[in-house]
Structure 1
């Protein structure tokens, strides 16, 4: 099997969402129906959903899917792997021609949702990225995100919009620093009973 990267910078994310409810299928299907996926390529199988396209649209869609489930107040977990660069394929290049307008921003911007998250970043193609990562983590703190070290990852706590904005920034700037292939893993928990205990 031969992989071809083409000339575009397609971003992909393979993710799973897990509503902690017997009605998990309904929560997932309803969320997917509410989210505008017209600017990304998307495929769901029995393990994950994969979205591919421009960076801003991949982050817009994944955040929106999480928010539309979390707004029901069900405890939900999200786990995703974001990737850009070789090795990869080029069958989705058509989505790179889309405009930068985020199709779900207007519908989700007023959904205020606290989350806890952990992320790990893997620049695999060189580049001077450590200073970039540290500077973007400092930028997250300035947005009000609580940042703390964790084993094999960095822990984030705060509003979903602030955290996803910070994750997108650190992912983009790591690529811009010279990494030809960048991978980021993200695990999110929303509406956890632990969160309610902290707020009480």
Structure 2
């Protein structure tokens, strides 16, 4: 099943090029397991979720460690019927029979609890879109229930949910949302914005 993300990172500084270029080395440990394509708008990362999300997390954390206000925006997708299967996307994170929703919630919670600590406080908002299923609202409500128990839940907002906490837990929460909710072989997408070092918080 094809999975990937179109990502853009925005450091709020005159030296935005230096911050971005300096952070790119964070992708090096993942490059042999990802397809990476960059143009003047975004960078496409194609790969399995257990590679994709840590790569996005580490890129974001590396940029945010500059101390500048940094924002990452990502459009994330799995199972899009318009994209071909690719071996680099092979994963055991989804696929197979549909597990009961309560079991999937518990698996999602365990994933967040075992997330690595990055020592980078972050805030995020995201929206989950479950395609091609008549029970999409059951899946979305199940995801919301998971989010409320995740330890990263901040609050519900119009059209999205706000998260907060260590970047490791935040990215693990979003990864669990993509992998555990919606049909195992279905099309699921996420719109994600993550922020660190915002002057608004100060």
* Alignment TM-score > 0.5, same fold: yes
Can you list the C-alpha shifts for 1:29-75, whole angstroms capped at 9, x where unaligned? Answer: 11112322221101110000010011111111111110111122111
CA distance in 1, matches of 2:121, 2:69: 12
Residues 1:49 and 2:55 are matched in the alignment: no
| Deviation of 1:25 (Å) | 1.0
What is the DSSP-based 3-state SS (H/G/I as helix, E as strand, rest coil) of the residue aligned with 1:193? coil
Q: Which residue, out of 84, 87, 90, partners 1:94?
A: 87
TM-score, normalised via structure 1 length: 0.79
**Superposed counterparts of 1:54-69, under 5 Å:** 54-69=48-63
Describe how 1:116-155 pairs up with structure 2 within 5 A: 116-126=123-133, 128-155=135-162
Q: Provide the C-alpha distance between the structure 2 equivalents of 1:179 and 1:125, rounded to a whole number of angstroms.
A: 10
* Structure 1: unaligned runs, 5 residues or longer: 1-8, 101-107
Mapped pair 1:72 → 2:63 = no
Deviations 1:83-108 (A, max 9, x none): 11133322x713135899xxxxxxx9
CA distance in 2, matches of 1:27, 1:99: 34
Q: TM-score, normalised by structure 2?
A: 0.79
- How far the C-alpha of 1:156 sits from its partner, in A, is 1.2
Aligned alpha-carbon RMSD (Å): 2.4
Matches of 1:110 and 1:10, distance apart in 2: 28
* 4+ aligned runs moved over 4 Å, structure 1: 97-100
- Could you list the runs of 5+ residues in structure 2 that have no partner in the other structure? 94-114
Determine the structure 1 residue equivalent to 2:193. 187
The number of equivalent residue pairs is 179
Whether the aligned pair in 2 keeps the contact of 1:128 and 1:178 (CA below 8 Å) is no
SS at match of 2:181: helix
